[in-house]
Copies of this chain bind each other. A is one copy, B any other.
Amino acid sequence: MEKKATKIVDLLVEDVRFPTSLELDGSDASHPDPDYSAVYVTLVTDSEDFKGYGITFTLGRGNEIVLHCVDSLRFLVMNKDIKEIQANMGSWVRSLAHESQLRWIGPEKGPLHLAVAGIVNSFWDLWGKMESKPVWKLLVDMSPEQLVSLVDFRYMEDCITKDEAIEMLQKEVPMKSKREVHIRMSGFPAYTTQVGWLGYSDEKIRTLSKMFLDRGFTAFKMKVGSDLEDDKRRLSILRECIGWDHLVMVDANQKWSVPEAIEWMKELAQFKLHWIEEPTSPDDILGHLEISKALKEHGIGVATGEVCQNRVMFKQFLASGGMQFCQIDAGRMAGVNEVIGVYLMAKKLNVPVCPHAGGVGLCEMVQHLQMFDYVALSGTTENRMIEYVDHLHEHFKSPPKMGPSKYYPPTDPGYSTEMFSESVDKFSYPNGEIWKDLFSSGKYRDPSRIHKRLV
């Protein structure tokens, strides 16, 4: 029989990096050479049978900084009683996000907040495993009061209060079991981003477009923003391959100023675009609002959120009308808890959530969040899709279960974030087998390494 876990006795953290820059996978207008990476956080308990595994995603360099942030937060995690955290998780998350001295280097933003995400996500994986439930189902089975206790409502109250949130959740309770049956049968719509990374050749775009069309995808995203004529040619190829009945979204990854975004997108409107993602600085709420207004007549919505730092920024994007598609990221804010806060505001303000995924472990995590939202909150898949990229799932014990253009609800207990220990070892940076080989063969050079002094 399994031994019960009652407290956290250790917190481990690993720097795991995949050399995706070698193939230009994931390349975009602001990130020409990403190495998809994970800060991999393990919560060790007093039971050998239960551990939690959490992930924060980065693009390679910088992963080491998030590791140090996790280390600096360790004292707020060690020896904590698991039941006490569960009873009032919102306040534990606040203790991590607002430590009296550490908060100055944020607050609630940057690598420290990514580290909080890693720790909090790890706790959810643990919680799911302890209850033998996938996290989405764990959330779905909670009462409205319990759900609300997960969220730190500070700074959200002018948008939504705890009482309003409880009332909103309460209304959906009668429909939950029917929706759960439905989503297990039908799955949740997905779209692919894999047809048009900026570093890909025209030929590769053509091959991939056809391949994903054949696999049943009906929505496709392409990177834009480096060269207008290139963008037109690439979008022509995509439309040629998939026709005009399917959805096409574009993503500029923060490349433009506000006026530039508007001009550029007017030029691309001819390709019948569903949304423009990250047209300008991710911090520019009022800029996004202006772009939204200008592109409305062209039928193009504005999508953003993958680097949006916290619920306060989302509150403003949602309430102002600067965001028509809300792209939460599971590794960016303070984990599951803060993301639920954003889902609550999005529901109230009637903005569809289409989570950011891809990367390392992001597809694994956001599927849980979106299933929860469907069953317990929004009750619809209309205008909603989950991003899908089929990289790197082979390193995870419970990869997403995909059908044609669909995610099916995870069934394994936990948050789907546990990796094979062989993968963690092999891709551990800089001393895992893969990296040692890449460095010694001269196939990979990390310019930052030669000048580093701190470990």
Contacts and interface: CB of A to CB of B under 8 A. Distances in A.
Given A100-B31, A312-B284, A109 B110 contact: yes
Given A62-B104, A65-B111, A258-B158, A75 B447 contact: yes
Interface in A88-114: 98-114
A104 B447 contact: no
A112 B112 contact: no
A287 interface: yes
A181 interface: no
B112 A313 contact: no
A60 interface: yes
Interface of A: 30-35, 58-62, 64-69, 71-72, 74-75, 78, 98-114, 154-158, 254, 257-260, 280-287, 290, 307, 309-310, 312-313, 315-316, 319-320, 447-448, 450-455
Given A59-B104, A103-B30, A319-B286, A448 B281 contact: no
Nearest to A21: B101
Contact of A157 (B107, B258, B312): B258
A15 to B, nearest CB: 10
Contact of A101 (B60, B75, B260, B454): B60
Contacts of A156: 257
A105 B101 contact: no
A30 B98 contact: yes
Contacts of A257: 154-158
Contacts of A32: 100
Given A59-B104, A64-B68, A75-B447, 7 more contacts: A32-B100, A59-B103, A62-B105, A65-B65, A75-B448, A108-B283, A283-B312
A310 B64 CA distance: 23
A114 B110 CA distance: 11
Given A281-B312, A283-B312, A254 B72 contact: no
A172 B179 CA distance: 67
Given A65-B65, A158-B259, A31 B101 contact: yes
A44 to B, nearest CB: 13
A28 to B, nearest CB: 10
B74 A448 contact: yes
A31 B103 CA distance: 9
A102 B35 CA distance: 11
A78 to B, nearest CB: 5
A349 B232 CA distance: 38
A351 B184 CA distance: 56
Contacts of A290: 158
Given A283-B309, A283-B312, A61 B154 contact: no
A419 B192 CA distance: 54
B285 A285 contact: yes
Given A108-B283, A109-B110, A61 B451 contact: no
Nearest to A260: B157
Given A30-B98, A31-B100, A109-B109, A65 B72 contact: yes
Given A75-B450, A111-B110, A454-B71, A61 B101 contact: yes
